[in-house]
Amino acid sequence: MSLYTWLRTATVGFTVVLATATATTANAAPAPATEPSATASSSAAVVTLRYDDSRAGGWEAAIAAGVASWNANVDNVKLVEAAPGARAEIVIVATTGWPQATLGPVRPGRQVRVELGSQAVSQGYDKTRIAAHELGHSLGLPDTKPGPCSQLMSGSSAGTACVNAIPNATEQARVESAYAAGAASLVATDGRTVVDAP
């Protein structure tokens, strides 16, 4: 065998051995899997619902406070203001009648309506409590009338002196339960409107 043939055969053999060793080493030592962070896993379970209050003039501060109350007290659903012109799941309008809302739980891509009626305000009911209460309907909570002031969903039955706009532990748990498995598991709203006249 000539020196040239021997070197060529040895080089080819060495290249095959080197390639096999490299592939074996790469397969034998895979990169360690990274643990997903708690933030990433918990944010994946949050259902975001957009609201449009562009037709709720005079109620902006009450709506903002009602939204803040829900966002501070439930973890797996968040209410955010829709960008101008964007479709919102919760459409909020100011009316002259009694407050009313479509009973949810609303899911992304669907739509419910909240009417913030000035008739309740003229009779002495608190605007922030009204806004938070009506948003509670959108999240799937029915009225609990008659009820104490500590129940947000007791609505007007708690009287005009009641200004509580914070859902109690039971109300928080019911919303958390409704959104527990994410948006895909939510049943469609039945379209029933809940009117909150006394």
Q: Which tens digit of pLDDT belongs to each residue from 53-82? A: 999 999 999 999 999 999 999 999 999 999
Highest mean pLDDT among 19-28, 32-41, 42-51: 42-51
CB of 100 closer than 8 Å to CB of 79: no
What CA–CA distance (Å, rounded) separates 18 from 35? 33
Q: What is the pLDDT of residues 74-107, one digit of tens each?
A: 999 999 999 999 999 999 999 999 999 999 999 9
Catalytic residue among 60, 81, 115, 134: 134
Q: Is the pLDDT of residue 111 over 70?
A: yes
What CA–CA distance (Å, rounded) separates 117 from 121? 7
What CA–CA distance (Å, rounded) separates 69 from 120? 20
| Residue 134 is a catalytic residue | yes
CB of 93 closer than 8 Å to CB of 179: no
Q: Give the per-residue pLDDT at 151.
A: 98
Reduced to 3 states, what is the DSSP secondary structure of residue 33? coil
Starting at the edge strand found earlier in the chain, the sheet holding 193-195 runs: 77-81, 47-55, 90-95, 112-117, 100-102, 193-195
Q: What is the pLDDT of residues 129-141, one digit of tens each?
A: 999 999 999 999 9
Give the HSE-up count for residue 29: Cα atoms under 13 Å, Cβ half-sphere.
4
